[in-house]
A and B are shown apart, each in its own frame.
Chain A
Amino acid sequence: MLELVVIGNGMVGHRLVQALCDRDSAGTWHITVLGEETRPAYDRVALSSYVDGVSAEDLTLPSLTVDLHLGDPAVAIDRDTRRITTETGRVLPYDALVLATGSVPFVPPVPGRDLPGCFVYRTLDDLDAIKAAAADAVARPGAGRRSAVVVGGGLLGLEAARALRSLGLSPQVVEIAPRLMPVQVDEGGGALLRRLVETEELQVRCGVSVNGIAEDRGRLVATLSDGVELDADLVVFSAGIRPADALARAAGLPVGERGGVLVDNRCRTSDEHVWAIGEVAALEGRTYGLVAPGYAMAEVVADRLLGGPATMTPEELDMSTQLKMLGVDVASFGDAQATTPGALEVVVNDPVAGTYAKLVISDDARTLLGGVLVGDASKYAALRPLVGSPLPADPVALIAPGGVELGADALPDSAQICSCNSVTKGAIVHAIGDGADTVAALKSCTRAGTSCGSCVPLLKKLLIDSGVQVSKALCEHFAQSRAELFEIVAGSGIRTFSELVSRFGQGRGCDICKPAVASILASLGTGHVHDGEQATLQDTNDHFLANLQRNGTYSVVPRLPGGEVSPAQLITIGEVARDFGLYTKITGGQRIDMFGARVEQLPAIWRRLVDAGFESGHAYGKSLRTVKSCVGTTWCRYGVQDSVGLAVALELRYRGLRAPHKFKSGVSGCARECAEARSKDFGIIATEEGWNLYVGGNGGFTPRHAELLASDLDTETLVKLIDRYLMFYIRTADRLQRTAPWIESLDGGLDHLRAVVVEDSLGICADLEAAMEQHVGSYADEWRGVLEDEEKLARFVSFVNAPDTPDPLVQTREERGQRVPVALGLPGVGA
């Protein structure tokens, strides 16, 4: 057996070992890994999620069977005798050595950078120290919010700022370049990004540097190059990285001008026994600070160590990034900065919608070279694989709102579908040909879609395009799709799950088909959701008519139609929250949520709310959540229609309506769009002539804007169209399918939808309207339904043998003057 020593236990080193173990079936290599940190390898890309409560264990990468020495870094390489010496004095001989030491944070040499309260942002230990310091700062007496200075407005700096904000501090970001994310984003994109992330809690200063940091009465003061002094409780440096190449330098290995161990196209250093991968490696003199190029290098070295021919070039290393930064979508791919000679740039900059899109194309305008997307990155998955390929359409149309939608068939075989794992369309099509017929199968045999997951929709499209019959079966109990079951239930008159499963399915159901059937039954107007056997079908939210939170308590949300609420109602909400010790928060949908209610408290809470005239807001259901509104003509100088009146009417019309997924609406009184109606499943914007109706906007994992269905409608026509649209969605969408992907899935998309619900091409509009009328006529408040029924009330107990004993596992503490849950200690798994 040959000896391989890997110095460095980060993501790239881990990937190398994993790739080698997977392929070394002959057992050629015995592997030893040396890690400087005392923790096992973890997902550093997701580091920031650590402050949001994701545990170090959750971030840990799968363990591998190698000799792993943690907390024992290598201190010397003797290349003549091929031996490594570690800090504890271990001596390890090697036949091959891989340097995967990564990088160290760059801290500019300013006075005061070593003061207590100054941190870098690189490891879990760094984050532990930052968390502790932030907690100390927040706990310190005195008025005002605690603040932090983040030095560096790149990718990591913005992540650090977000993390500090979620730790309760107000971050100020200082970036020496004239814009944020200078490496990934161009000037126009950077300007929009800055506008989108700038809030009262996050301030940005570009074009200035930090001259020094000083202590001042227990806090810090950072002096900037423009003379401004910023008070801070913490300073976090995230001003870039430097290759951790000291060990290699000491061993006499040549390094690049800007650091990094020089490697050739096999990732081999000048010493044939020594390789370097990831951030410590300089390929053709250049280093790469992202994980995807590091992974690609790891794959090359794994192949080489087993005698393979793999090589790589800088052009093949994907520097694309896509992320959601402080709630803003940002993506950058290929030659984003247009450095190719003669490159042309096509820009669509929509400051009103808050989107910026740029494509970089070759001088003959035929080949896509790269691009930048800010505000809406939904086209990233389709555009990035086209880099280096002929443009399939006019470049403006590719990025314009409502322009060309690219399908998977537009991509050449060489297009990289999964950039995290360098998987081409050709490789995926090949795997499909070899029998991979599900996304899960594609993931396991090609690794595509296993890292960031942004390419999964494309994997699905490729499967469908290749003619694979993707099963429509809802679950193991029903071979039918949700839409087919809807037709069966509607047409057969079956009104119980038992009858449906015995006649059209098998077994006794599960947590997938039962709630789906419950939703179908509710859409068909079959009484209270707890009546008879229906009670057994409901997901916990619908079973308790409240929204389950992570510690097992529920939130209670009364309906505030259109966001309108009277002073007396506000007082009632306040009194209820105070008397039951509920955490109270105004949410994005213009509702007041009360969190932390235990099961046995729910009926008493509802009683008070119902007595004050409130109804259930259905915040728990796959149902209409809210209709948001601005103040319209009632108060606003610019409003052209009564947006509040319409929002209230629509919310009352569709209250309690169950659907395949939760859905929301908004009504804006003018084109200024204060109600953000175009991010809703259906949104209405007032015009001088009437109403414009937009459909298919979603705020889910892949947010997208709604598209115009019809314009300048009178109110009666508008309501009729919404009735038809919603009922058509409820009848034909898949389980948990939001409106946007549903419209996309229709053959003909939005045009087909318009034909059906506006032009009545299928002749079903009267039927759809009648179904909605039936719903509107049969609506009853579900909370009241429980309060008036002793049998239903009997379910709302903590313990069947101790009905009023609170769950002892629910504990709270105080934060910012309100009660919040104490994080639950997990009991030993398997106990």
Chain B
Amino acid sequence: MTATETTVRWATICPLDRLMPERGVAALVGDVQVAIFRLHDGSVHAVGNVDPFSGAAVMSRGIVGDRGGVSTVASPIYKQVFSLVDGRCLDDADVSLPSYPVRVADGQLDVGLPW
């Protein structure tokens, strides 16, 4: 996804320091569930919270890591690994999570959703 600021609406989620490095949190924006992760290097990524393989809203509870240098999260249900950069499933090329832009303003974390 290549959303830019002009095509998204920003929703303020929480203070950035509410996120623990290398663990995720779930957020509810309207009726969209988003999984947000703060990585070791300080970067923040947001993808869909619903695991495409089980239908359960659990992605925020997965283990964060990397595969071949790409930051990843593993679904806690059946353990498929997804890229945190663009939401692609690295175990199944036909599957991906939606990926959302994030920004930090005044210490608050915002997630951008498509209009």
Seen from chain A, the residues whose Cβ lies within 8 Å of a Cβ on chain B are: 476-477, 498, 507-511, 513-515, 533, 535-540, 543-544, 548, 550-552, 599, 795, 798-802, 805, 807-810, 824-827, 829-831
Besides A508-B22, A540-B58, A799-B33, 13 other CB < 8 A contacts? A508-B65, A508-B71, A536-B20, A536-B22, A539-B63, A548-B61, A550-B77, A551-B55, A552-B54, A552-B58, A825-B55, A827-B55, A831-B98
Task: Give the nearest-CB partner of A831 in chain B.
Answer: B98
A537: chain B residues within 8 A (beta carbon): 63
Whether A510 lies near B58 (C-beta < 8 A) is no
Q: Which of A498, A508, A809, A829 has the most CB of B within 10 A?
A: A508
Whether A508 lies near B40 (C-beta < 8 A) is yes
Interface string of B16-51 (1 = CB under 8 A from A): 001111110111110101001001100000000010
Whether A809 lies near B14 (C-beta < 8 A) is no
Q: Shortest beta-carbon distance, B20 to chain A, in Å?
A: 7
How many A-B contacts at CB < 8 Å in the complex? Answer: 123
C-alpha gap A533/B23 in the complex (Å):
10
C-alpha gap A825/B57 in the complex (Å):
12
Q: Knowing A476-B68, A539-B63 are in contact, say whether A801-B76 is a contact too (CB < 8 A).
A: no
Whether A824 lies near B65 (C-beta < 8 A) is no
C-alpha gap A543/B21 in the complex (Å):
14
Whether B67 lies near A510 (C-beta < 8 A) is yes
Whether A808 lies near B65 (C-beta < 8 A) is no
B76: chain A residues within 8 A (beta carbon): 539-540, 548
Contacts of B67-95 to chain A: CB distance below 8 A? 67-69, 71-72, 74, 76-77, 79, 81, 94-95
B23: chain A residues within 8 A (beta carbon): 535-536, 543, 795
Task: Give the nearest-CB partner of B76 in chain A.
Answer: A540
C-alpha gap A198/B109 in the complex (Å):
60
A795: chain B residues within 8 A (beta carbon): 20, 23
20 cross-chain CB contacts under 8 A: A476-B68, A508-B22, A508-B39, A508-B66, A509-B66, A511-B81, A536-B20, A536-B23, A537-B63, A538-B63, A540-B61, A540-B63, A544-B61, A550-B54, A551-B55, A798-B26, A800-B25, A809-B50, A824-B56, A829-B94
Whether B56 lies near A551 (C-beta < 8 A) is yes
Task: Give the nearest-CB partner of A548 in chain B.
Answer: B76
Whether B77 lies near A824 (C-beta < 8 A) is no
Q: Shortest beta-carbon distance, A792 to chain B, in Å?
A: 11
Q: Shortest beta-carbon distance, A633 to chain B, in Å?
A: 44
Q: Knowing A509-B66, A827-B50, A831-B98 are in contact, say whether A535-B77 is a contact too (CB < 8 A).
A: no
Say if the beta carbon of B62 comes within 8 Å of chain A. yes
Whether A509 lies near B65 (C-beta < 8 A) is yes
Task: Give the nearest-CB partner of B65 in chain A.
Answer: A510
B71: chain A residues within 8 A (beta carbon): 508
Whether B54 lies near A540 (C-beta < 8 A) is no
Size of the B side of the interface (Cβ < 8 Å), in residues, is 45
Q: Knowing A536-B23, A826-B52, A827-B55 are in contact, say whether A800-B65 is a contact too (CB < 8 A).
A: no
Q: Knowing A535-B20, A799-B27 are in contact, say whether A830-B65 is a contact too (CB < 8 A).
A: no
Q: Knowing A540-B76, A808-B31 are in contact, say whether A830-B96 is a contact too (CB < 8 A).
A: yes
B14: chain A residues within 8 A (beta carbon): 800-801
Say if the beta carbon of B113 comes within 8 Å of chain A. no
Whether B26 lies near A507 (C-beta < 8 A) is no
C-alpha gap A795/B67 in the complex (Å):
26
Whether B28 lies near A799 (C-beta < 8 A) is yes
A799: chain B residues within 8 A (beta carbon): 25-28, 33
A827: chain B residues within 8 A (beta carbon): 50, 52, 55
Whether B66 lies near A511 (C-beta < 8 A) is no
Say if the beta carbon of B102 comes within 8 Å of chain A. no
Q: Shortest beta-carbon distance, B44 to chain A, in Å?
A: 12
C-alpha gap A444/B23 in the complex (Å):
37
B21: chain A residues within 8 A (beta carbon): 536
B26: chain A residues within 8 A (beta carbon): 798-800
Q: Shortest beta-carbon distance, B63 to chain A, in Å?
A: 4
A829: chain B residues within 8 A (beta carbon): 52, 94-95
Task: Give the nearest-CB partner of A513 in chain B.
Answer: B65
Whether B69 lies near A507 (C-beta < 8 A) is yes
B56: chain A residues within 8 A (beta carbon): 550-552, 809, 824
The listed residue (B50, B52, B57) touching A830 by CB distance below 8 A is: B52
A508: chain B residues within 8 A (beta carbon): 22, 39-40, 64-66, 71
A514: chain B residues within 8 A (beta carbon): 63, 65
Q: Which of B19, B52, B58, B94 has the most CB of A within 10 A?
A: B58
C-alpha gap A550/B72 in the complex (Å):
21
The listed residue (B27, B57, B74) touching A552 by CB distance below 8 A is: B57
A509: chain B residues within 8 A (beta carbon): 65-66
C-alpha gap A536/B21 in the complex (Å):
8
A831: chain B residues within 8 A (beta carbon): 52, 98
Top-3 shortest CB links A-B: A824-B55, A552-B56, A510-B65
B98: chain A residues within 8 A (beta carbon): 831
C-alpha gap A809/B28 in the complex (Å):
12
C-alpha gap A827/B56 in the complex (Å):
10
Q: Knowing A508-B65, A510-B66, A514-B65 are in contact, say whether A801-B55 is a contact too (CB < 8 A).
A: no
C-alpha gap A550/B50 in the complex (Å):
12
Q: Shortest beta-carbon distance, A826 to chain B, in Å?
A: 4
A800: chain B residues within 8 A (beta carbon): 13-14, 18-19, 25-27, 36
B29: chain A residues within 8 A (beta carbon): 801
C-alpha gap A4/B39 in the complex (Å):
57
Q: Shortest beta-carbon distance, A517 to chain B, in Å?
A: 11
C-alpha gap A809/B68 in the complex (Å):
33
B96: chain A residues within 8 A (beta carbon): 830
C-alpha gap A449/B63 in the complex (Å):
30
Q: Shortest beta-carbon distance, A733 to chain B, in Å?
A: 20
B94: chain A residues within 8 A (beta carbon): 829-830
C-alpha gap A510/B95 in the complex (Å):
20
Task: Give the nearest-CB partner of A807 in chain B.
Answer: B57
C-alpha gap A830/B33 in the complex (Å):
16
Whether A536 lies near B25 (C-beta < 8 A) is no
B66: chain A residues within 8 A (beta carbon): 507-510
Q: Shortest beta-carbon distance, B102 to chain A, in Å?
A: 13
B40: chain A residues within 8 A (beta carbon): 498, 508
The listed residue (B19, B27, B68, B74) touching A511 by CB distance below 8 A is: B74
The listed residue (B39, B52, B72, B77) touching A548 by CB distance below 8 A is: B77
C-alpha gap A826/B71 in the complex (Å):
25
Task: Give the nearest-CB partner of A799 in chain B.
Answer: B28
C-alpha gap A824/B19 in the complex (Å):
28
Q: Knowing A800-B36, A830-B94 are in contact, say whether A510-B74 is a contact too (CB < 8 A).
A: yes
C-alpha gap A226/B79 in the complex (Å):
54
A515: chain B residues within 8 A (beta carbon): 63
Whether A830 lies near B69 (C-beta < 8 A) is no
C-alpha gap A739/B66 in the complex (Å):
30
Q: Shortest beta-carbon distance, A189 to chain B, in Å?
A: 36
Q: Knowing A510-B72, A536-B21, A831-B98 are in contact, say whether A543-B55 is a contact too (CB < 8 A).
A: no
Q: Shortest beta-carbon distance, A62 to chain B, in Å?
A: 13
B13: chain A residues within 8 A (beta carbon): 800-801
Q: Shortest beta-carbon distance, B42 to chain A, in Å?
A: 13
A830: chain B residues within 8 A (beta carbon): 52, 94-96
Q: Shortest beta-carbon distance, B23 to chain A, in Å?
A: 5
Task: Give the nearest-CB partner of B64 in chain A.
Answer: A536
Q: Shortest beta-carbon distance, B33 to chain A, in Å?
A: 8
B22: chain A residues within 8 A (beta carbon): 508, 533, 536
C-alpha gap A421/B65 in the complex (Å):
38
Whether A511 lies near B63 (C-beta < 8 A) is yes
Whether B68 lies near A543 (C-beta < 8 A) is no
C-alpha gap A533/B40 in the complex (Å):
11
Q: Knowing A507-B69, A801-B13 are in contact, say whether A809-B57 is a contact too (CB < 8 A).
A: yes
Whether B55 lies near A826 (C-beta < 8 A) is yes
Whether B55 lies near A809 (C-beta < 8 A) is yes
A544: chain B residues within 8 A (beta carbon): 61
C-alpha gap A323/B77 in the complex (Å):
27
